[in-house]
Structure 1
Amino acid sequence: MTFNDWPWRHWREQRGEAVAIYLGEQTLSWRALCQRIDSLACGFAAQGVQPGDGVMLRGKNHPDIVLAWLALLQCGARVQPINPQLPSALLEELLPGLTLRFAVDLADNADFADLIALDLREAAGNYDAGWRPQRLASMTLTSGSTGLPKAAVHTCAAHLASAQGVLALIPFAGQDNWLLSLPLFHVSGQGIFWRWLLAGARLTVSEQPLAAALQGCTHASLVPTQLWRLLNAPEPVSLKAVLLGGSSIPVLLTNHARDRGISTWCGYGLTEFASTVCAKEADGLPDVGYPLPGREVRIVEGEVWLRASSLAQGYWRNGQLQPLVNDSGWFATRDRGVLHNGRLTIQGRLDNLFFSGGEGVQPEEVERVIAGHSQVRQVFIVPVDDAEFGQRPVAVVDADTGFDINELKDWLAEKLARFQQPVSWLPLPEHLALGGIKISRRALQAWVATQVER
């Protein structure tokens, strides 16, 4: 679909009184939503926001975050969402290079001396910087394994192209309702946001616990642990489609979901591509599916290269865009992969490979084997330093209650080479398991180091 105006205004004309969004206890139609966006945009403009200005939007998912984002877009601003849990020392390093002018802080009203604080002041009128889909609209921090995170810059057109590719595979329209279950400072949360705008369906923004927030929702983006717990809870589930992210997807989980009338989808995505690049309905096979419409994939010397209409314009640094593509015009991902009959299988990050006693261990390959056990919900392999072997693999597992780890060790004996077999087994900690986004391997490795030292 091609919009000739802001998507919310398009849907106001097409579905004016239809429900657009559930904001906590408040329900807004497309017409009422546009009125709120107009008044907030006027308020921001009165405080000095102009097209092209960089604005930090700091906070967790909340109705005000969503409304502020929409209004800032209508002002023509370049929105930089920030995780409120980022330490102040890291922000002090990051902010100068992001060249932001304003800050909307809905977390703890921290003092950002170099930024002008904005409040959510509403004013009469309908300020509009004009619908220009190629204008720089968002900056999203990547979770790089080394150095400072980079800010990938996308246009509205790129976000909509990402949404269009996903919705070519996953039905979502009209009366459907997608829970904003992932934070907007993460590209997967933005993916939900733009699919809603493209489809003109419904979005739920809730601060309630997941099971309560999902009441009445038909779609959600979850990690396997979240879906396991929902399916094992006594409360009824209204979901009909779930996009799963994170680690290997257990077949037992997807079968259980199917028995409850829920279709499950999995895929492969990157911040630089505004979320999902390849996807499929979960089928138990290790690939991530075919490239979605508007995406291209090739393998060069074992590395996955990508091109897509959803690609970011570049990385933002000191007011300049740094190119993402190589001399051949492709984005080199640093992911190992293979293509078979057009379907992509990701073998792991080139950066994740480590050596134990001279043997290369690719964590994702080991995880895929362990996840095949019927009682394993989620598993991660991380290296720990070892004086004799250099590094050894440690497994962090989320498994059924009362599960005997010795049973798993026996089960793995003939499925993994000796150098691949974990030397220690740890339970996945709660604070990492339910973050709602892809678990950081760097954070997990740091946590494991503290446990092994004990």
Structure 2
Amino acid sequence: MTFSDWPWRHWRTQHADKPALRLEEETYTWQQLCMRLDGLAAGFQRQGVQEGDGVMLLAHNHPQTLLAWLALLQCGARILPVNPQLPHPLLDVLLPQMTLRFALVLNGRYDSDSLTALSMSDQPGEGGVAWRAERPATMTLTSGSTGLPKAAVHTCEAHLASAKGVLALMPYANDDDWLLSLPLFHVSGQGILWRWLQAGARLTVREKQPLEQALKGCTYASLVPTQLWRLLQSENRIALKAVLLGGAAIPVELTQKARARGIRTFCGYGLTEFASTVCAKEADGEPDVGYALPGREVQVVDGEVWIKAQSMAAGYWRDGALLSLTNPQGWFATRDRGELVDGRLTILGRMDNLFFSGGEGIQPEELERVIGTHPQVSQVFVVPLDDVEFGQRPVAVVECEAGSDITQLPHWVSDKLARFQQPVHWLALPAELKNGGIKISRRALQQWVRQSLRG
């Protein structure tokens, strides 16, 4: 599907009275959604928002966030979604580089002398600007191994290209309903939004509800394996047809249990710079992440994964200019170590993360995939600790469910990891390192580990 107007207006012309969006328990048809967005866009324009303006959207996922997002797009704004948990000192340094004019704060508080505060208010009229697929639409924060987070700029065209690739694999359409289970300040949450708009199906937004309740009536969801495990333990009927899994290795037992309940499971590999998913497959227990989706190209050069795609960001935004993502060969060099066998990509880990212990190479992500399959582990990081005898030894920093006993983990991994791979220390992830949703810095973790264990 190629659009000549805003996607929601396109679907209004196709089937105006078809349900399009559920916000909590309120349902909007495409016609009703367009009317609401026209009013909100007119309200933003009345407050001075013009095409090309940068707007910070500080918000968690809830119905107002989704409506504000779409209305700001319709104004032609360039949206920078920000996690309300991000430390304000970080924002004070980061935001001046983003060339913003406005701030819409729906959660928390952020005072700025340089940004004009917006409010959500409906105004009469049909607010907005003409659809241009090539217009910069979003600025999504990402982070490398060092320095400040960067903002990857995507056009609507790039987001829709990402959606088309995923929909070629996952048959989400017609009366299917995808739960917006991931925040819009993450590119994975934006991926859900654009798949909905590309497919003309349905989307559900429910705030702060238990997952099983939030999923009521939904046929598609993006989850981590732990969430799916919990769902499958319920004896209640689950309407899900398919789940896109991320965040950890996918155990075969999990996919089998899901299949027995009529749920297909998919997994893959994606990057912020490529508007979410690049490679994907139906989960089969194998360690690869599948084939490149339509519109993507992948190659491995000297062990490093290189990517080209229609969904690639236009660049990183800095001080009003776009900085190129590509190398001299025209590819994005990911710094991910990988193997490509018969078109199927396996991600081995970050090239920057490899370290050696007693002469043995340790790729932290390999250990993390194993430890992350423990049903009570929410996330895990393995970092090196300097050691006089071995050079470096692995240390595991884990976040577990409340009430879990971290001291049981060394025994659990004893027959799952080689002796040299087994962490010599197990530490609980401290709250101060969670960093408000931005990727946790391994460098900061390593420094914290060193201080914790060496005093």
**TM-score, normalised by the number of residues in structure 2:** 0.91
Cα deviation, residue 397, structure 1: 7.4
Residue in structure 2 matched with residue 419 of structure 1 by the alignment:
420
Residue in structure 1 matched with residue 2 of structure 2 by the alignment:
2
Q: Quick one: distance in 2 between partners of 1:118 and 1:366?
A: 46
Amino-acid identity (%): 63
Q: Which amino acid aligns with 1:209?
A: P
Q: How do 1:11-410 and structure 2 match up within 5 A?
A: 11-207=11-207, 208-369=209-370, 380-388=380-388, 389-395=390-396, 396=398, 405=409, 407-410=411-414
Q: How many residues align?
A: 448
Cα deviation, residue 422, structure 1: 1.6
Cα deviation, residue 108, structure 1: 2.2
Q: Which amino acid aligns with 1:289?
A: G
Contact 2:142 2:438 in 1 (8 A): no
Q: Secondary structure at the match of 1:364?
A: helix
Q: Quick one: distance in 1 between partners of 2:183 and 2:145?
A: 20
Cα deviation, residue 210, structure 1: 1.8
Higher mean C-alpha displacement, 359-368 vs 315-324:
359-368
Q: Quick one: distance in 2 between partners of 1:305 and 1:103?
A: 36
- C-alpha spacing 1:245/1:431, structure 2 compared with 1 (3 Å): farther
Contact 1:224 1:249 in 2 (8 A): yes
- C-alpha spacing 1:15/1:113, structure 2 compared with 1 (3 Å): same
Q: Quick one: distance in 2 between partners of 1:213 and 1:146?
A: 37
Cα deviation, residue 255, structure 1: 1.5
- C-alpha spacing 1:217/1:308, structure 2 compared with 1 (3 Å): same
**TM-score, normalised by the number of residues in structure 1:** 0.92
Cα deviation, residue 85, structure 1: 0.5
Q: Quick one: distance in 1 between partners of 2:48 and 2:356?
A: 54
Q: Secondary structure at the match of 1:269?
A: strand
Q: Quick one: distance in 2 between partners of 1:381 and 1:97?
A: 30
Q: Quick one: distance in 2 between partners of 1:14 and 1:449?
A: 60
Cα deviation, residue 281, structure 1: 0.3
Higher mean C-alpha displacement, 96-105 vs 218-227:
218-227
Cα deviation, residue 339, structure 1: 0.5
Q: Quick one: distance in 2 between partners of 1:67 and 1:152?
A: 22
Q: Quick one: distance in 2 between partners of 1:145 and 1:253?
A: 32
Q: Quick one: distance in 1 between partners of 2:431 and 2:111?
A: 31
- C-alpha spacing 1:341/1:94, structure 2 compared with 1 (3 Å): same
Q: Which amino acid aligns with 1:173?
A: A
Cα deviation, residue 360, structure 1: 2.5
Contact 1:279 1:289 in 2 (8 A): yes
Contact 2:368 2:382 in 1 (8 A): no
Higher mean C-alpha displacement, 156-165 vs 359-368:
359-368
**How far does the alpha carbon of each residue in 1:134-157 deviate from its partner, in whole angstroms, 9 at most, with x for none?**
001110000322100000000000
**How far does the alpha carbon of each residue in 1:201-240 deviate from its partner, in whole angstroms, 9 at most, with x for none?**
1111111222211111111111111111222234432211
Q: Quick one: distance in 1 between partners of 2:454 and 2:243?
A: 38
Q: Quick one: distance in 1 between partners of 2:302 and 2:376?
A: 33
Contact 2:6 2:131 in 1 (8 A): yes
Contact 2:45 2:128 in 1 (8 A): no
Q: Quick one: distance in 2 between partners of 1:426 and 1:254?
A: 30
Contact 2:78 2:138 in 1 (8 A): yes
Cα deviation, residue 441, structure 1: 5.8
Q: Which amino acid aligns with 1:148?
A: L
**How far does the alpha carbon of each residue in 1:383-421 deviate from its partner, in whole angstroms, 9 at most, with x for none?**
242342443213337699789546534423xx51x3212
Q: Secondary structure at the match of 2:76?
A: coil
Higher mean C-alpha displacement, 347-356 vs 437-446:
437-446
Cα deviation, residue 252, structure 1: 1.6
Cα deviation, residue 445, structure 1: 5.6
Q: Quick one: distance in 2 between partners of 1:438 and 1:322?
A: 21
Q: Quick one: distance in 2 between partners of 1:130 and 1:176?
A: 29
- C-alpha spacing 1:31/1:448, structure 2 compared with 1 (3 Å): farther
Q: Quick one: distance in 1 between partners of 2:162 and 2:40?
A: 27
Q: Secondary structure at the match of 1:194?
A: helix
Cα deviation, residue 93, structure 1: 0.5
Contact 1:324 1:331 in 2 (8 A): yes
Q: Quick one: distance in 1 between partners of 2:59 and 2:226?
A: 24
Q: Secondary structure at the match of 2:353?
A: coil
Contact 2:385 2:394 in 1 (8 A): no
Cα deviation, residue 354, structure 1: 2.3
- C-alpha spacing 1:402/1:118, structure 2 compared with 1 (3 Å): closer
Q: Structure 2, unaligned stretches of length 5 or more?
A: none
Q: Which amino acid aligns with 2:412?
A: L
Q: Secondary structure at the match of 1:411?
A: coil
- C-alpha spacing 1:264/1:124, structure 2 compared with 1 (3 Å): same
Q: Quick one: distance in 1 between partners of 2:322 and 2:438?
A: 26
Q: Structure 1, unaligned stretches of length 5 or more?
A: none
Q: Quick one: distance in 2 between partners of 1:406 and 1:134?
A: 52
Q: Which amino acid aligns with 1:212?
A: Q
Higher mean C-alpha displacement, 335-344 vs 103-112:
103-112
- C-alpha spacing 1:377/1:227, structure 2 compared with 1 (3 Å): farther
Cα deviation, residue 100, structure 1: 0.3
Contact 1:228 1:377 in 2 (8 A): no
